[in-house]
Amino acid sequence: MKKEQLEFPNCWEELTPSEWQYLLKLRGKLEKDNRVSLVDVKREWTRFVLRGRKYPESLKSVDGLLLIDALSETLDWMWKEHENGVIELTFDVTDQLFPQWHRFRGPKSHGADLSFGEFRHAMAYCNGYTKEHRSELLTALCGILYRKVGDRRKGQYREPFSPDLIQIYANRIYAMPDHLKWGVYAWFSSFCRFLTEGTFILDGNEVCFAPIFARSKSDEPADQSLGLNSILFSVAESGVFGSVKDTDDAPLLRVLLKLLDDHNKVEALRKDLKK
């Protein structure tokens, strides 16, 4: 089988859930064991992918080993080696590559089912973990995002989020392996970056929410002022979604669409006044 015929990933979207989870496991080993090198990780992950994608020849043969070596060298898009020796897994996608852990479901791809309140609280714990690296903050983030299956009769993918149950959510998800918890953090961080910089396709239209997010001068995620509480009360005052609680329970992207519409109207009015 020729290399060109192999369905070998060349971007994050092409990974399967099992490939992503195994990569997270290898990243954990790389971080904790000085005997493990990045080359080792790349080769082992390549071997896992080929095995999982039913590569027909022996991976222990000369041809198999040469193929593993060649494909592992194409994985630079996954990793960044800093001058200080730090090796970073450069996860940058909003596709959900870790949809479920046991009986707990995570958010759908691109945050399609996130409520505004869920996002608001998850952001607080994500920023806290980024700044302090405390394991309980990471566990709480995972608990917020990975909840029990919802009521199918009501069309619920996950059980509705309640801020009063965050500690219970954290206790439920406590046994999730650390390498998978980091993967949840990586996905949510990537989603937040895309939310403030990228373009969504909603109802067939391209939408960029960047104008409504105020950033601080610092590049540190923990210092980025998203003004989520301000957004909550601003939208709630309009009454479009109802009370403050109703707004918190509303879909995140719909709340932001409302805010973006208000922002665009204000900008249009400013332009008219300058004429």
Asked if 189 and 240 sit in the same domain, the reply is: yes
**115 and 60 housed in the same domain:** no
Residues 53 and 189 in one domain: no
Whether residues 39 and 110 fall in one domain:
no
Judgement on whether residues 7 and 140 belong to the same structural domain of the protein: no
pLDDT tens for residues 185-200?
999 999 999 998 888 8
Residue 109 has pLDDT above 60, yes or no: yes
Report pLDDT for 221. 46
User: Looking at the structure, do residues 42 and 123 belong to the same domain, yes or no?
Assistant: no
Q: What is the pLDDT of residue 201?
A: 85
DSSP β-bridge partners for residue 251: 115
Do 160 and 227 sit in the same domain of this protein? yes
Mean pLDDT confidence for 95-102: 96
How high is the pLDDT of residue 205?
Answer: 85
Q: How many CB atoms lie within 10 A of CB 161?
A: 22
Are both 128 and 243 inside the same structural domain? yes
Are residue 17 and residue 109 in the same domain, yes or no? no
d(CA 98, CA 106): 7
Q: Is the pLDDT of residue 176 over 90?
A: yes
In this model, does residue 226 exceed pLDDT 70? Answer: no
**Are 182 and 247 in the same domain?**
yes
**111 and 150 part of one domain:** yes
The mean-pLDDT minimum among 28-32, 106-110, 212-216 falls in: 212-216
Whole-number average pLDDT of the chain = 88
Q: Which amino acid, residue 262?
A: D
- Residue 84: pLDDT band with limits 50, 70, 90: confident
Looking at per-residue confidence, does 85 or 69 come out higher? Answer: 69
> Domain for residue 95, yes or no?
no
Range of the domain at 7: 3-89
CA atoms within 13 A on the CB side of 156: 12
pLDDT at 274 over 80: no
Percent of residues, the chain, with pLDDT higher than 90:
64
Query: How does residue 219 score in pLDDT terms, banded at 50, 70 and 90?
Result: very low
Per residue in 148-174, pLDDT (tens digit) is: 999 989 889 999 999 999 999 999 999
Instruction: Say whether both 145 and 176 belong to one domain.
Output: yes
pLDDT the model gives residue 41: 97
Does the structure show a pLDDT above 70 at 214? no
Total tally of structural domains belonging to the chain = 2
